[in-house]
Copies of this chain bind each other. A is one copy, B any other.
């Protein structure tokens, strides 16, 4: 009988040592900057009570939540009529009281409300943990993936928006990714458009269509707007929006004209103008800041500034991060008046960007500095003493665990991309010597055993 090779559920991944090293490189860069910007880490459980998550992500989102089957005799509390219906949707609530988190935002809102008396506001938290979605797996989309979020709750000042632009700039500069664009928009500018065309109830229809301007062009967008019940007169009024030109400040000037009769729209413009002006005065290292009125992400919850970060044009990977301000994040759990703003980094996409642009440091795969060859008990003991000294100095060092053929041990050293191999064989031991082999140059040098650690330090 041959057993079938085991495998993992679709949409999930194993990460090899090399992949973990690359992922950690990105995560550490993000984490370092989160901390330098004053954010503090929290962690929440991987599963929440089902009621905490359900109803927070829209109908589509709810369907993508992985539910956990209750432990033990899970059918014991199902009402007879529910069971007889044999209906999955009706049965689920009775047999699964817990579910895997779908994002980090709702658990964060739950955390803030639950622990409000222990938290001193404004609360700047970051969280880097996996989330799960029962999405159809495809290239770059997984059922288990990490989110890297930073949020501030309990403060309204616009400096936080300025800060997040700086944060994106710093992280991508540290990762050596040039040509990143931070695109901004404002919920109130979109509301202003809806006001101007006299159809505030059509905000979503209008923006969903507008969002496609880049992809399908002006004519098709107008067609779609008409299909969505926006009148040709309204579209005519808003025409200038389709052809905004110039840099951030030039677009601001045009928008001031377009939205001159919408107080809401003008508020949005004032916010963006502040953020842009301060960003100009502070400077950005590698990123660009752009105003993009078609940007309409998270319109369900964002109430102010909206961010989206685009990868460098040459990699064609789309969004690698985003966020925005939401005035009532914690209201869903009963706590009002907590303005919040948050951004996220898309780890998997950023990984692909670095891979495509060949930006991962070459040293990430060097996970072992020194391997000592195992020539037998006495020799191994002498090697082990050297290893103890190396580790005390911070080197990653090990003894090959078995006394086996030299060729096999050296081939292992190659596989691990070891920088140095130390050989203490019978003859060396009897002369209190050790041979140091530099695996890059192939050079071999003999040293007195007690000098070998120093020799490596001086290489």
Contacts and interface: CB of A to CB of B under 8 A. Distances in A.
A100 B52 CA distance: 20
Interface string A1-33: 011111111001111110011001000000000
Contacts of A49: 6-9
Contact of A36 (B73, B130, B391): B391
Contacts of A7: 49, 114
Nearest to A91: B75
A80 B330 CA distance: 44
A156 interface: yes
Interface in A276-316: 278, 281-282
A399 to B, nearest CB: 6
A92 B114 contact: no
Count of identical protomers in the assembly: 2
A144 B45 CA distance: 7
A42 interface: yes
Contacts of A42: 14-17, 20
A230 to B, nearest CB: 35
Given A36-B394, A66-B69, A69-B96, A46 B144 contact: yes
A445 B400 CA distance: 58
A236 B98 CA distance: 54
B69 A157 contact: no
Interface in A379-406: 380-381, 384-385, 388, 391, 394-403
A187 interface: no
A277 B53 CA distance: 57
A41 interface: yes
A122 interface: yes
Contacts of A21: 41
A398 B5 contact: no
Contacts of A63: 71-72
A440 to B, nearest CB: 19
A120 interface: yes
Nearest to A41: B20
Contacts of A182: none
Interface centre among A14, A63, A124 (most CB of B within 10 A): A14
A6 B45 contact: no
A155 B83 CA distance: 53
Contact of A16 (B113, B118, B281): B118
A104 to B, nearest CB: 12
Given A7-B49, A40-B17, A282-B385, A88 B76 contact: yes
A47 B160 CA distance: 37
Nearest to A83: B86
Contacts of A13: 45
Interface centre among A13, A36, A124 (most CB of B within 10 A): A36
Contacts of A398: 37-38, 124, 163
Interface of A: 2-9, 12-17, 20-21, 24, 35-38, 40-49, 52, 63-64, 66-69, 71-76, 83, 86-89, 91-92, 95-98, 100, 110-111, 113-115, 118, 120, 122, 124-125, 130, 132, 134, 144, 152, 155-157, 159-160, 162-163, 166, 170, 278, 281-282, 333-334, 367-368, 371, 374, 380-381, 384-385, 388, 391, 394-403, 411-412, 415-416
15 contacts: A3-B334, A5-B334, A9-B48, A12-B47, A14-B42, A14-B44, A16-B118, A24-B41, A36-B397, A37-B396, A63-B71, A66-B69, A66-B71, A69-B96, A83-B86
The 10 A-B residue pairs with the shortest CB-CB distance, nearest first, are A3-B334, A38-B398, A12-B45, A17-B40, A71-B134, A157-B402, A120-B415, A155-B401, A15-B43, A67-B69
